[in-house]
Structure 1
């Protein structure tokens, strides 16, 4: 697996070692490290060879290959004995530090005899004493061996913990973890958590910490009632160890945490994400611990009766939970037995048994924003319907009665029809199905037409192509001698085809839209093609209606409703005022006919259509009046299942009227009533989404977030994957806006790890948007390395979006800034150039100006005077963009681009020590800003500009008198405006300058 041409000299070798050191740990890095050791031997440079061997041992240690680490160290030790002068102070320190690594590696190998472990510790002690080094690190290793074996650690602990730390002691974070684990083993959760506090709070860290400590602290936190803290640390800690072979033990403990908190489904999700660890972990000790965590999870899933669920297991075969648990148990038992045999104790078997026997600590803990259950995704309970909650009608046992009931319920539009059709679909598909010879149910072909028609309606509701299914059903109805049903099927086909004139995704289904015209006004595609197609469809519907003789009242009413729906959809697509009156005319026909024949469902549908048409035409008060009348009728005469959708429509209209409180009340009541009916027939997902909007208007973002996630999970359960992921994306963005960074990342990780997303079943732009939000969250969470890597990947992919250069410009600009934050200014310049090229095709003035100004600031802040030329080049380009924006009449959303540019000139010149140029630029920025007034929104920006100018003038140019004059005038102005907070930094600076005088 060669990674690059072999270095030809020592300089190239060191460069290659440095580049390899930036790679993540794993086989590619390890293989390259092995190759570089071979190269170092050929170059015959002892110092270079030492460096290469140190890097190779590093790769083995953190790549979870403990068998190879001691071999490399033996070579290093031999070189030290033979040529000690080759080891400068840094290399000597690294050598003695790694005695501990070898001790850890030998302890992790059950085939390594106990005598060999003790001999190595003796070697370590002797070497430390000979070198005049403190023995605290040796006693630390002696303690860890005692704890590993499960013997009494009292003396070993005191000999280690009672000694003063030395430069070769483990880092503070790692030692804290060992101290806390000692208290944990003694059963003292509180003392352990107190010891862990500096690490869990982020005050002490290293490569493995705080991820390692977090994994051990999760259960003690639960046991001591710190549930929310455990949840937070699980989200952050898991991200720090996932898919890392060197941290497989930690992954196992996160799986165990899921199993013991009612999050078995999330545990299976995390197991799938870490499936490779089952085959990649080379450390027997790490593998033993990881497998035990896996078994805790699988055992719990099996105990809950889900042993036949698929599970992500060893490569090469398909696994169920039960089969994988048996395999994992066998392997983990074997490892425990091998360690116990080596150690002459039963410690590892006992520890496994204790973990496997542990009872759940919580029935349910909502770990992430995406609630999951073992029986597919589940949604947290909606507001309870109370004791009056409706029980669905019983499905008849008699096949004849079942068919008759299904058709009767279907004619009414009753939600329970779905239960009957689902049962019939199963029965008809059976090989032994025998159709009743009964005139009351008609021939089998008619039943097949019914089932196909129900399937087509469901496809309509999911925005899937349905015209062909409706046409096929119409043909079957004709074969069955049911012309009315055939006409209805053809009517549905006409509307379904009209909604996709250019094969674009349908926005709404015909029958659904007939009830909810106002719901999706924001989603209308607005194309003339769609409006034209719907006009033609309506004409065809009228002809179909007129040319079909002998229609029953329920057939004729539904045809009238579809005629009205077609015109309503046309109005929605076109927004043309001339299309309003024809809708009302058709609605009046429907209402009159339904009233004459006493068809409550169609009367309700007509009134709902009328209210929706008022809303679409912009007459919201009239829409409210219509809805109020409809609600009164529904409460008196039914149908009851129309109440949730009607309240939902009134809630949306109230949002349009900017009465969020009334909207919240209507939508909440609608959601309460929707609990009586199947979620996909009562619009529960949409109710949750609209409630989220109302909550945002009311300043309740946390409640909004809950409704968004409920809506998304319902959409997912109903097969509306794209809608679900869009809503989840909104929830992720909201959680990020709320500062819940780890929630945001965990939600997006879950979505992006979904097999459907990984297999490319989702729109690639939607997936890219989710990844973009995740990258921003990683940045907000200060994981600059991961955020930069994701942004770089997205920038490369979006470069191919020739239909959307604006998005590429935005992504490339953000990528440039992150590269600048990482100090990679050459790569940042390349990314900025990409953004500029895309900007030329689709201008993004503010994003590009912000990017270039930020790069200029970062470069001078990091490089000082050496970075000034590059920074000025960025600002020159930003100046050109400001000129373009001005010429195009672009209005900035915040401060003007010229003002921002002048301020940045002042700031970067100050960083670079060019103080006269800095002050000139800041004065220009203040002139552009102008003095703030009572209504101005730029007082804070103006005050900051004055403060920087005062600092440059008074401190760096050593001209305190004019600086104080400037500051005092600004303080007086800000105080007069009541902006005392903005004046405080200026007052502090003025006091400092007076003290210096």
Structure 2
């Protein structure tokens, strides 16, 4: 929005141009209204015409049909009064927009049917008087008949049988209307055949292909084309999301989700588009949108989830059931108003047909992030295990307490369910503790509950909380006269305290020292505590061994290996003597881990194999998934991805036998993804990455989950699954804690950066550029990460260059270079500067050459800096790439002698390729371009042919025959032209 009103017509046109770059919506519309006011101050009709045209466009695509005809009436009056000021382009735009007004009038039930017909008569008369073909008029007559629900056979033939004119709707829009005619007739196959050019991306416009894609989804499903429907849902939804003028399309995507078992995604998309409830001013579009919403909500409620939260009208909190009732009332009213105006029941009938549709598929995996309605809950950390089942939790209170302690003694995975139930009972106001000597006093039970809570906090790396809870439990155990339990709690507190992260350069050394002290204190505690039961003493020995194992993991010092193995041997001997199976398994697992950390992977595998044999024979069975997981990681370290995959898959299968929190399935899935990548199965890896992330999310490890989702998104982008990447990131970025700013801003920025790159790859340059510009502005404040800002600003400059905005690109380059001066990013900056130079020369020709060469000068200085710093590029040599780009840039600008000299320099820097040289392709391309410049543009075919023939001979002799084809093709062309 301009800060001050334009004072000259040049300023007005510049402001109109800037507004045209804005997305449709209130900001663009309000600015357009202000620019009309500004245009009226000039005593010239043409600026006002341009401003009115921009305002009508803003109203039309901002879903404000009531205002569009009013603006057009002013334009028509200006045309009638001063037709001579309308040049050919303005005249074309004026007559084109008769159709916009017809569309707007249909969308308003308060406009009488006679008024709509009168407008079509006006359109016909105007077209005839101007000598224009009437095909566009008959198109509007057909659309009115279809809207009303009349027999459209004759109207269709009168339109579709006529020759197109310059004022006909674009090919894509007409294709959609033809397809909808066949669809209404019940002929899915014929409709899809008509749609094929649009669905294949051969025809498009402002609203297409998004409009056609939304209508084609259900016919594709009905004809068995599920993969295509999935793909087009992702593409099409992105083309209409949050767009008030395409709210009907959004509604059809919600309906598609409801009919394919993707109700959870539907609710997610509804939340993303909640603004449409209040932003859509077109009654027709709103009725279409609300019907799609109702189809979704009806399905969710029928599945028994009517109390789930749903995003609806602003000002109150909605459930699915409550919102459905509200939507049904409003949509019924809108349909009835249209039917009353039209004298038919068409709109009510169409609503009923959509609401009566049965699901077309039980389940269609639409996105990489497959979620169910059970997952649609507010983003809150998981603080307790899943609700226990009746099979594991006794009803009687004394039995429940004793059962919990017995399971805890074994380390059994059903123990947390018992503690969860007890925690709920003890917290109740009417709780009465059993008067039973076997159960013990209430203070002991409270200590047990605190100890359980401390253990779960430690599992989530919340070490400060774990330490405090252990200390509190120890004090209560003392009060209860349970010194052995108190000792175990204090040992847990010692270990948790040592684990608390320290910062600074010597953090690892400080943590190792803390673990050494914790171990010493545990040994003293062990010696000073009488009356330890065998399982308690074994657990204390396990904590001692764990402290030393963590010290080894922290320090990596060889001298710390032997103490761990000695302590593990104590544990193993004691547990074996007393038959404590859980700790025998724990000792063997610690021993294997110690060998692995020390680098002796074969010994680690031998230990794990022995452990697996023992677990299968003696148990405990719940240790099998974790042990198989470790064996899988060891096999990955030994480069045996196939065995790793087998072990990890078996680990996941075994994990399904136990409660969800028993095994870290997120890690199993993550390790499986790594194995799949080694095996060349990236699509399978992608599935495991997303499952790993979802498991972390359910456990409350949200940062880990978002990092893994980011890795999955990058992998999907690397695989060319652009729409999957974007849909995944859109879903993650819509998480409540992300939108509320509660997630680390750098992590969110990385997710947005990957999304912006995916948008660019998907050729949505406008959206990609907007995101990059926003990220560049945000990263400018990252004083602790100037290198990242340099790279983001450099990429932003390239995208601005692709959009032809070279002034803004130069500003972004300036930011990138300033940040690079603080934290160098040689290769990234050089690549971006060269690409920007190429774009400027390619788009602007000779006029862009000075600025393009200035970018290359900057790239040259960076190459000099890199050379002085001893930096070696990961890809092409910066000097060679720079010389080649000088050749391309000068060639685009017509400076052919300079181009050829630069290419010869690049060839000299490259040197001729060898038999195993991976630079053969780069060398051949440089020769090809030099040959083209010399032979075609400088018209010196003889030396060009000599160059090309020599290169072909050289490459052929070296076995690089694949690189010779472009050279032989160019040589043949030069010979033909001689």
Bigger mean CA offset, 704-713 vs 208-217: 704-713
1:619-630 aligned at under 5 Å gives the runs 619-630=600-611
**Counterparts of 2:790 and 2:531 in 1: how far apart (Å)?**
62
Alpha-carbon distance, 1:391 to partner: 10
**Counterparts of 2:355 and 2:389 in 1: how far apart (Å)?**
41
Q: Deviations over 1:236-277 (max 9, x none)?
A: 110110111000000000000000000111111110010010
Alpha-carbon distance, 1:94 to partner: 1.0
**Counterparts of 2:917 and 2:376 in 1: how far apart (Å)?**
50
Partner of 2:59: 60
Partner of 2:482: 482
SS of the counterpart of 1:243? coil
Partner of 1:276: 275
Instruction: Quickly say closer, same or farther: Cα 1:188–1:475, change in 2 above 3 A.
Output: same
Partner of 2:976: 995
Partner of 2:846: 865
1:100–1:141 CA contact under 8 A, matched in 2: yes
SS of the counterpart of 1:15? helix
Alpha-carbon distance, 1:848 to partner: 1.0
**Counterparts of 2:432 and 2:698 in 1: how far apart (Å)?**
32
1:276-315 aligned at under 5 Å gives the runs 276-315=275-314
1:716–1:724 CA contact under 8 A, matched in 2: yes
1:377–1:717 CA contact under 8 A, matched in 2: no
Alpha-carbon distance, 1:679 to partner: 3.0
2:392–2:417 CA contact under 8 A, matched in 1: no
Alpha-carbon distance, 1:585 to partner: 1.2
**Counterparts of 1:789 and 1:477 in 2: how far apart (Å)?**
60
Partner of 2:178: 179
Partner of 1:387: none
1:393–1:416 CA contact under 8 A, matched in 2: no
**Counterparts of 1:138 and 1:261 in 2: how far apart (Å)?**
39
1:108–1:285 CA contact under 8 A, matched in 2: yes
Partner of 1:400: 398
**Counterparts of 2:209 and 2:250 in 1: how far apart (Å)?**
13
**Counterparts of 2:845 and 2:817 in 1: how far apart (Å)?**
26
**Counterparts of 1:168 and 1:476 in 2: how far apart (Å)?**
85
SS of the counterpart of 2:964? helix
**Counterparts of 2:89 and 2:249 in 1: how far apart (Å)?**
31
Bigger mean CA offset, 889-898 vs 270-279: 889-898
Partner of 2:28: 29
Partner of 2:343: 344
Instruction: Quickly say closer, same or farther: Cα 1:394–1:762, change in 2 above 3 A.
Output: same
Partner of 1:444: 442
SS of the counterpart of 1:168? coil
SS of the counterpart of 1:43? coil
2:392–2:414 CA contact under 8 A, matched in 1: no
Alpha-carbon distance, 1:835 to partner: 1.6
- Equivalent residue for 1:725, pick from 683, 703, 706: 706
Q: Deviations over 1:144-172 (max 9, x none)?
A: 11100111001111111111111111111
Bigger mean CA offset, 886-895 vs 306-315: 886-895
Partner of 2:459: 461
1:816–1:828 CA contact under 8 A, matched in 2: yes
Q: Deviations over 1:426-485 (max 9, x none)?
A: 222222222111111112222222222212211211222422222222222222222222
SS of the counterpart of 1:240? helix
Is 2:934 the partner of 1:953? yes
1:655–1:694 CA contact under 8 A, matched in 2: yes
Partner of 1:264: 263
Is 2:100 the partner of 1:98? no
Alpha-carbon distance, 1:503 to partner: 7.3
1:392–1:416 CA contact under 8 A, matched in 2: no
Partner of 1:502: 502
Number of residue pairs matched by the alignment: 966
Partner of 1:637: 618
Partner of 1:968: 949
Q: Deviations over 1:753-779 (max 9, x none)?
A: 010111122111111111111011001
**Counterparts of 1:224 and 1:481 in 2: how far apart (Å)?**
73
Is 2:542 the partner of 1:561? yes
**Counterparts of 2:880 and 2:41 in 1: how far apart (Å)?**
60
Is 2:417 the partner of 1:419? yes
Q: Deviations over 1:841-872 (max 9, x none)?
A: 22211111111111111111111111111111
**Counterparts of 1:845 and 1:422 in 2: how far apart (Å)?**
56
SS of the counterpart of 1:910? helix
Alpha-carbon distance, 1:111 to partner: 0.7
Partner of 2:523: 542
2:301–2:321 CA contact under 8 A, matched in 1: yes
Instruction: Quickly say closer, same or farther: Cα 1:526–1:710, change in 2 above 3 A.
Output: farther
1:501–1:533 CA contact under 8 A, matched in 2: no
Alpha-carbon distance, 1:529 to partner: 2.2
Alpha-carbon distance, 1:525 to partner: 11
Is 2:730 the partner of 1:749? yes
**Counterparts of 1:32 and 1:686 in 2: how far apart (Å)?**
52
Partner of 2:902: 921
**Counterparts of 1:800 and 1:50 in 2: how far apart (Å)?**
43
Partner of 2:8: 9
**Counterparts of 1:48 and 1:874 in 2: how far apart (Å)?**
37
- Equivalent residue for 1:698, pick from 679, 682, 696: 679
Partner of 1:786: 767
**Counterparts of 1:365 and 1:250 in 2: how far apart (Å)?**
20
**Counterparts of 1:9 and 1:763 in 2: how far apart (Å)?**
46
Partner of 2:916: 935
Alpha-carbon distance, 1:950 to partner: 1.0
2:2–2:15 CA contact under 8 A, matched in 1: no
Is 2:890 the partner of 1:909? yes
Alpha-carbon distance, 1:526 to partner: 7.0
**Counterparts of 1:838 and 1:538 in 2: how far apart (Å)?**
47
**Counterparts of 1:422 and 1:857 in 2: how far apart (Å)?**
65
1:245–1:281 CA contact under 8 A, matched in 2: yes
SS of the counterpart of 2:519? helix
SS of the counterpart of 2:241? coil
Instruction: Quickly say closer, same or farther: Cα 1:525–1:620, change in 2 above 3 A.
Output: farther
Q: TM-score, normalised by structure 2?
A: 0.97
Bigger mean CA offset, 14-23 vs 270-279: 14-23
SS of the counterpart of 1:527? helix
Alpha-carbon distance, 1:671 to partner: 1.3
**Counterparts of 1:987 and 1:789 in 2: how far apart (Å)?**
43
Partner of 1:472: 472
1:743-892 aligned at under 5 Å gives the runs 743-892=724-873
Alpha-carbon distance, 1:408 to partner: 0.9
1:775–1:791 CA contact under 8 A, matched in 2: yes
Structure 2: state its 5+ residue gaps: 378-387
| Stretches (4+) displaced over 6 A | none
2:392–2:418 CA contact under 8 A, matched in 1: no
SS of the counterpart of 1:723? helix
Is 2:513 the partner of 1:532? yes
**Counterparts of 2:507 and 2:914 in 1: how far apart (Å)?**
44
Q: TM-score, normalised by structure 1?
A: 0.95
Alpha-carbon distance, 1:4 to partner: 2.2
Alpha-carbon distance, 1:493 to partner: 1.6
1:33–1:52 CA contact under 8 A, matched in 2: yes
Is 2:881 the partner of 1:900? yes
Partner of 1:653: 634
Q: Deviations over 1:898-932 (max 9, x none)?
A: 11111111111111111111111111111111111
**Counterparts of 1:765 and 1:543 in 2: how far apart (Å)?**
45
Partner of 1:507: none
1:978-989 aligned at under 5 Å gives the runs 978-989=959-970
Alpha-carbon distance, 1:137 to partner: 0.7
**Counterparts of 2:52 and 2:657 in 1: how far apart (Å)?**
69
2:66–2:108 CA contact under 8 A, matched in 1: yes
Partner of 2:381: none
Alpha-carbon distance, 1:377 to partner: 6.1
Q: Deviations over 1:302-348 (max 9, x none)?
A: 00000001111111111111110000000000001100000000001
- Equivalent residue for 2:656, pick from 675, 680, 687: 675
**Counterparts of 2:496 and 2:597 in 1: how far apart (Å)?**
21
Measured on the aligned residues, the alpha-carbon RMSD in Å equals 1.5
Bigger mean CA offset, 494-503 vs 987-996: 494-503
Structure 1: state its 5+ residue gaps: 379-389, 505-523
